[in-house]
Chain A
Amino acid sequence: MAGGVIAWITGKRSSLFSRYISLAALFIDFIIVVFIYFRNGINLDKTWLIEYNTNWIPRFGINLHLAMDGLSLLLLLLTFFIGIIAVLISWKEIQTNTGFFHFNILWILSGITGVFLSMDLFLFYFFWEVMLIPMYFLIGIWGHENRIYASYKFFIFTQASGLLMFLAILGLYLVHGNNTGTYTFDYQQLLVTPMGSAMEMLLMCGFLAAFLVKLPVVPFHSWLPDAHSEAPTAGSLILASLMLKTGAYGLLRFVVPIFPNAAASFAPVGMALGVIGILYGAKLAFSQTDLKRLVAYTSVNHMGFIVLGVFAFNELAYQGVVMQIIVHGISTGALFIIAGQLYERMHTRDLNKMGGLWEHIPVMGGIGLIFVMASLGLPGLGNFIAEFLTLSGVFKSSILFACLASVGLVAGTIYSLRIMQKVFYGRQNSEHKMKDLSIRESIALGSMVIVIIYLGIFPQAVIRTAKPSIMKILNIKEQSFDSKTRKVDYELFNSVIEKEVSKAEK
C-alpha cells in the first residue's frame, strides 16, 4: 500500500492537476484503510491485521516487512484524514509550483505511513529519514519570512537525533547477532534480544534521542516553534498532527517492548520530563504573541502528556496516549488551519493586531471556539477523554506526577482562553474586511469538528481497536520484567493476549 502511494507520487510530479490527483490518491488510501478497518472489525485480536514480508537486502538480514495492527491502523486513518485536509487547505495558499508542493506532501505522507507500518528496524529508519527531506523543502520553499533558518534547524535537529538512533539500531543488530547467531533487523526477533543492562540502557538512549527530539520533549524542543511557525499551513498541520506522532509511536512500539528494563529504570526521568514539558509548554504558550508559535507551544504541552503516559506503563495510561495522539492531531491541526486562514486574510500572525474578529467571521470563530475548548480539555470533546485516561493511568503509578500534570491542565485552560480572547473577542483592532469560511474550508474544518466530537462521545471505537496492541506491549514488558533471561516465546504471548481480550470483551 505504501508502495502504491509512492507510485502515485512519481506519476503526478509535473502534472497541472496535481491537486486533484493527490486528493484522489489520499482518498483512495483512506478508503482502503477504512475498508481494512471494517473487514477486521470483528476480530481485532490477531497479531497483525495485514502483513507483507519479502527479502530486501538479504546480505544484512534486511526484509521489506510491513505489518498493521490496531495501533498502526488508527494512526493510518489519522494520517490519510489529515493528508486530505492538508491538500484541501492549501488549495489557495500555494500558488507557486503546485506540482512539486504536492509531490512533497505525498512523500511526507508515504514516509509517515511507512514508519507506522514497518516491522523491520532498517526499513523503519529508512522511512523515518524519507519524510525529512520533503519536509525540509516544504518549509524552505513555501514557508514564511524566516523559513531558511527554520528549515535548517528542523533538519539538523531531527537528522542528528535520527543518526543516533541509527547507531543504536546497528548496535542492537550486532548485539542480537553476537548473542544468537542470526543477524537480522526484524522487529519480532529483536524483541527478544538478550543483552546486558548497561548495553540496554545505552541502546535505548539512542532510540530515545530520536523519539524525544521528534516529540519533542522539553530540552530538545527548540526546533519546533520555529519550524511550525515558518512552515506553510499544510506543513504545520502535517508536522503537528502526524510527524510528532511518529515519535510517540516509536516510544510505544520500540522503546518500551525492546528495552523494557531500561525503560522501567528511565521511567521517573521520563515522567519528570513529561511534566516539565506540560508546565513549561503551557507557560511559553501563554507568553507568545505569534499565533502559530502559541499553537506550537501547546503541542509541547500536549506531548508532555504522551511522554508521561508512556512511562506510566499501564493500560489506562496507554489508552490515553493513543487517544491523545489522535485527538491532538485533530485539534491542534485545526488550530493551525485557523491560524493559517487568518494569515491568508490578514497577513499577520501577531495576536496584538487581531481582536474582535467574531463580528466579521462568526463561523470561523465558532469552530475556533470548539477547538480551543478541545485543547483545554472540555468534557464531551476527544481531548478530555485522552487527558483523563492518561492522568488516571499515571495516578496509579505516581501520584506526584499526576498532580503536577493536573496543574498543567489549568495552565492549559489559561492559554487556550487567551487565544479566544485575543483573536475573536475584545476590541476591534483592525479595519480588515474579511470573508468568512469558504465551502472548501468549511468542509475541511467541519469534518474535523465532527470527528473530535464523535471521539469525545464515543471513544470506545478507538479504545477497542488499540487494545490488543497495547496489551501486547504491556505483556512483553511485564514478562521480561520478571525474568532476566528475556527469552520469551512470542507465540505464547499471543495466546495469552487472546484470552485476555476475550475476557475483556465479555
Chain B
Amino acid sequence: MTRLDFLCLTPLMIVASAPIIIMLTITLSRNYKVVYGFSLFMFLAAFLSLFIVLPNTPYRIAPLFIFDNFSILLLGAIYCASFIITVLSYIYLNHQGGEREEYFIILFVATLGASVLVTANHFISFFLGLETLSISLYVLVAYLKNRNYCIEAGVKFLVIASVATAFLLFGMGLIYASTGTMDFKEIGVSLTSSGLTPLLVAGFGMMLVGIGFKLALVPFHMWTPDVYQGAPAPVTGFIATISKGAVLAIAIRFFFDVHGYQYTALVIIITIISVLSMFTGNLLALKQTNLKRLLAYSSIAHLGYLLITLLTGTSYGIQAAVFYLVSYMITTLGAFGVISILSICERDAEDLEDLKGLFWKNPWIAIVMSLTVLSLAGIPLTAGFIAKFYLVLAGLKSGLWVLAISLILNTVISLYYYLRVIKTMFTVSEKDYKLNISFTGNLVLVIIVIGILFLGILPSFLTEIISGFSTIN
C-alpha cells in the first residue's frame, strides 16, 4: 500500500479505530459522558478527514475501493448523520438505565459498514460492507432488551436480512460464474460483449431481491413497519437514513457501472418495483395511527421515488439521487429526532396521539415536526420540494413519463397522511407536556431546520457541488 492509499482510507480508519478505543476505555472504567463526547469527536474527525481525501479524487484503491466525488459527498452526509444520531441517542439513552456505552461501539461499526458500502466497487467490499452494517444493526435494533417490541423487531430483522443476504450472495455468485469477474466496471464490459444471458438475468434478479429487502421495496417490504416500530427511535433514524442511503448508493453505482438501464428486462422489472413501492407505501400509510409505522411506509414510497434515478442512466439522474438522498436524510433525521426527544423512558412517543396539541404546548418542536413533514411531502420552501423537482426533471429528461406521473399522483396521495400528522399537532388537547429539552437537543433541531430551509430556499449551494458528478468512475 502506498502513502496515498493510507491517506484516502483515513476516514474509514478513524471510524474503525473508534470502537477499539472505546472498548479499551470501557474495560478501565465506564463513563457514559466521556464515551459520548469521544464519539462526537471521532465522527467530527472522520468528517474533517474527508477534506484531506478530497484533493486526490478520483482515486482507486484496487481492487476494492474507489474514492470519487460521489462517494466523498455521501461519506460526508453519512458522518454528519451519524453525528446527529449520536446526539439523539445520547438524549434518548439518558432516560434508560443500564450499560449504554456499548451502544456507541456498535454505532461506529455500523457506520463503518455504511462507509465501506459507499466506497465499494467490487463484490467483496460490497458484501463485507453490507454484512458489517447489517450485523451491527441487528444488535442496535434489539438494544433495549427489556422492551418486547425491540426483541421482536430484532429477531425479525435478523431472519429476513439473512435471507436477503443469502439471495444477494447467490446472485453475486451467478454473475461471477458467467462473467468471471467481481469488479463492477469489468462486469459492465463483459456484459456489453455477451449480452444478458438467462444466467445473468437470474443473477441480477437474485441481487435485486437482496437489495430490495435492504431498501424495503415492494414486495420485500414486510419487515419495515415492524422494525421501524420496534427499534429505539434513533436506531430507526439510522436505518432510515444511513443504512438505506448507503445501500442505495452502492445499488446506483453498480447499476450505472454495468449500464443496467440499457437492458429492457431490468428496466421493466425496476419500473414495476418502483411504481408498486410508491403506491403500496403511500396507500398503506394512509390509515396508520402509529407515527413510526407511518414513517416506515412513507420511506417505502420514497425509496420507490429514488429508484427512478437508477433508470435515468444520465448524470442528471445521479445528481438527482444525491440531492434527494441528502435532503431525505436531513428530513428523516428531523422526524426521528423529534420522536427521540419526545420519548420517555418506558416507551417511544410513537402514536399520533402523543403529538396531539403539541403546537399549543411546545410550538418550537411542533414547527420542526411540521417542517420535516412538509419536506417529506415536497412542499416549496423545504428541501423535499427541490429534491422532488430534481428527481422529476431527471426522470422526464430521460423520457420516464410513467414514473414521473406516478410520482406526482403519489405525492397527492401522500399529502393526506402528512397533513394528518400536522393536523394532530394543531388539535387542541388537554394533555400536559413536561418537556425540558437539553441544549444539545435544541441545537440539533436547529441544525436540521436550517438544513431543510437552506436546501429549500438556496439549493444552488448543493446543486453546484454535485453538478460535476457526470459519471461515476
Contacts and interface: CB of A to CB of B under 8 A. Distances in A.
Nearest to B427: A148
A361 to B, nearest CB: 33
B467 A167 contact: no
Interface string B380-414: 11000110010011001100000011001001100
Given A170-B392, A170-B393, A163 B404 contact: no
A313 to B, nearest CB: 31
Interface in B434-464: 459-460, 463-464
Given A129-B379, A170-B396, A174-B396, A57 B463 contact: yes
Contacts of A171: 396
Interface stretch (A134-142, A343-351, A384-392, A417-425): A134-142
Contacts of B385: 129
B324 to A, nearest CB: 15
Contacts of B392: 166-167, 170
Contact of A159 (B381, B389, B415): B415
A59 B396 contact: no
A164 interface: yes
A155 B381 CA distance: 17
B374 interface: yes
A56 B374 contact: no
B419 A155 contact: yes
B419 A130 contact: no
Interface size class of B (residues with CB under 8 A): 20 to 34
Contacts of A454: none
B404 A59 contact: no
A126 to B, nearest CB: 5
A71 B457 CA distance: 28
A155 B411 CA distance: 12
Nearest to A58: B460
B423 interface: yes
A145 B242 CA distance: 44
A269 interface: no
Given A56-B460, A155-B415, A167-B392, A133 B379 contact: yes
A155 B389 CA distance: 20
Interface string B411-427: 11001100100010010
B358 to A, nearest CB: 14
A136 B460 contact: no
Nearest to A57: B460
A18 to B, nearest CB: 14
Contacts of A58: 460, 464
A440 to B, nearest CB: 28
Nearest to A163: B408
A125 B408 CA distance: 15
Contacts of B412: 156, 159-160, 163
Main secondary structure of the interface of B (DSSP, over half): helix
Contacts of B393: 60, 170, 173-174
Contacts, number: 64
A174 B467 contact: no
Nearest to B404: A167
B405 A167 contact: yes
Contacts of B379: 129, 132-133
Contacts of B463: 57, 59-60
Given A57-B463, A129-B385, A130-B380, 9 more contacts: A57-B386, A126-B380, A126-B381, A132-B379, A152-B416, A163-B412, A166-B408, A170-B392, A171-B396
Interface footprint category on A: 20 to 34
8 contacts: A125-B380, A126-B381, A130-B381, A133-B374, A156-B416, A167-B408, A170-B396, A174-B396
A136 B467 contact: no
B415 A156 contact: yes
B461 to A, nearest CB: 10
A163 B411 contact: yes
Contacts of A160: 412
Contact of B464 (A59, A133, A136, A155): A59
Interface of A: 55-60, 97, 122, 125-126, 129-130, 132-133, 136-137, 140-141, 148, 151-152, 155-156, 159-160, 163-164, 166-167, 170-171, 173-174
Interface string B123-156: 0000000000000000000000000000000000
Contacts of A148: 423
A155 B404 CA distance: 21
Contacts of B419: 136, 152, 155
Contacts of A56: 460
Interface in B459-473: 459-460, 463-464, 467
Contacts of A170: 389, 392-393, 396
Given A136-B419, A141-B426, A59 B405 contact: no
B391 to A, nearest CB: 11
B394 to A, nearest CB: 10
Contacts of A159: 412, 415
B459 A57 contact: yes
Contacts of A126: 380-381
Contacts of B408: 163-164, 166-167
Nearest to A126: B380
Nearest to A122: B389
A97 B363 CA distance: 11
Contact of A174 (B380, B397, B416, B423): B397
B291 to A, nearest CB: 19
Contact of B426 (A55, A129, A137, A167): A137
Nearest 6 CB-CB pairs, A to B? A59-B463, A129-B380, A160-B412, A57-B460, A163-B408, A126-B380
A240 B289 CA distance: 35
Contacts of A133: 374, 379
Nearest to A59: B463
A133 B459 CA distance: 21
Contacts of B459: 57
Contacts of B426: 137, 140-141
A55 B381 CA distance: 17
A233 to B, nearest CB: 20
Nearest to B416: A156
A137 B389 CA distance: 24
A57 B323 CA distance: 14
Nearest to B457: A56
A97 B366 CA distance: 15
Contact of A59 (B360, B381, B423, B460): B460
Nearest to A62: B460
Contacts of A140: 423, 426
A133 B460 CA distance: 24
B401 to A, nearest CB: 9
A58 B462 CA distance: 12
Contacts of B360: 97
Nearest to B393: A170
B459 to A, nearest CB: 6
B336 to A, nearest CB: 23
